[in-house]
Amino acid sequence: MDDQPSEGKKSVPWRKVLYERQPFPDNYVDRRFLEELRRNIRVHQYSYWAVVREAGLVSQQLSCVALFLTLWSYMEQGDVAPSTLLWTGLGCSVLGYSLYEALEGGKGRERTHVADLQSAAVFMAFTFGLSPVFKTLTESVSSDTVYAMSAGMLMAHLVFFPYTQPSLPGSLSLNAALFASVCLASRLPGTLHTFAMLSCALLIFALWPCLLQRLRQAAEWMFLWAAGIVCVFGVVGVGTLWPAGGFLLFVILAVLTLVCPLLLVRLQRHKDNIHGPWDEAEIREDLSRFLS
């Protein structure tokens, strides 16, 4: 394109307007045309270890699903008694609740410990009372269909889990996980097995994310240790049932935690966003008062 005006037109300044005729050719580009161009003014520069820390939440959630499936498999095979799982879950619940209260320090607390205990007792009573119903819920459905639905719901749980910080387990993610838990628990040998499996599902998919959020807010080093321990338990649990599967899970976790953040940081140098007066207008004023 022509970037120089003719000799007789040098005294006429070029203007960036379309509503008036100017003595320049149509393909003329002035040197000031892109003077307001800005590149990557809103790009957030990520550090590798910061991305690894955030990716650890995805890895530990995948490990939670693997750990739940491992416990279900042990229950189905009769290698773990329901009473053992219930007592272990009770101990983990007491330990986690104590840690949660210690990190919270009683600030902004609206419920008493007695109210929390009553809520837990009511939930456990209803779950135990409905266990016979859950046990026979999928009797008329084939096992292949139940397993396929459970796999789909667990995938939905992982996809829709709110990984942003800070965040509690979302309703869609939690409901998908509990739906899969009910489907799988209905395939266990007895009613007590179903009750123990549903209690374990609540502990893993509902209560554990709440404690993990508190750890991210109050004690980040404890969050890193907790996420790492969950990943180790998930790999070891799958490895005891299927060694090749345990190795595959280890590779997936390593790629998610270490390789994907590296690719993100490396590809960041190729990011090229341009900004200028041609951008769409951004409304920065709070319009909530007009919508209320």
d(CA 139, CA 132): 12
Q: Could you tell me how many residues make up the chain? A: 292
As given in the structure block, the two tokens for residue 63 are: 């490990």
pLDDT lower than 50: segments of the chain = 8
CA distance 17 to 178: 61
Q: Which residue has the tokens 């994907």?
A: 260
**pLDDT at residue 281 in the model:** 66
Q: How far apart are CA 257 and CA 84, in angstroms?
A: 33
Q: Can you name the residues that pair with 38 across neighbouring β-strands?
A: 275
What pLDDT shows up at residue 150? 95
- Other CB atoms closer than 10 Å to residue 119's CB: what's the count? 11
Kindly give, in sequence order, each residue whose CB lies less than 8 Å from that of residue 248, ignoring residues fewer than 6 positions away. Answer: none
Q: Which residues, other chains included, contact 205 with Cβ-Cβ below 8 Å and sequence gap of 6+?
A: 64, 68, 157, 169, 174, 177, 178, 181
Q: What is the pLDDT of residues 257-270, one digit of tens each?
A: 999 999 988 888 77
Report the alpha-carbon distance of residue 273 to residue 252 in Å, rounded: 32
For the chain, list the strands marked E by DSSP. Answer: 38-39, 274-275
Radius of gyration of the chain (CA): 29
Q: What residues have CB less than 8 Å from 85, skipping those under 6 apart?
A: 71, 75, 196, 197, 199, 200
The residues that bridge with 275 in the sheet, in sequence order, are 38
> Residues 173-196: pLDDT tens digits?
999 999 999 999 999 988 999 999
pLDDT at position 168: 64
Q: How far is CA 277 from CA 37, 94, 273, in A?
A: 8, 59, 14
255 Cβ neighbours under 8 A, 6+ residues apart? none
Q: Give the residue extent of every domain in the chain.
A: 55-76+87-101+112-268
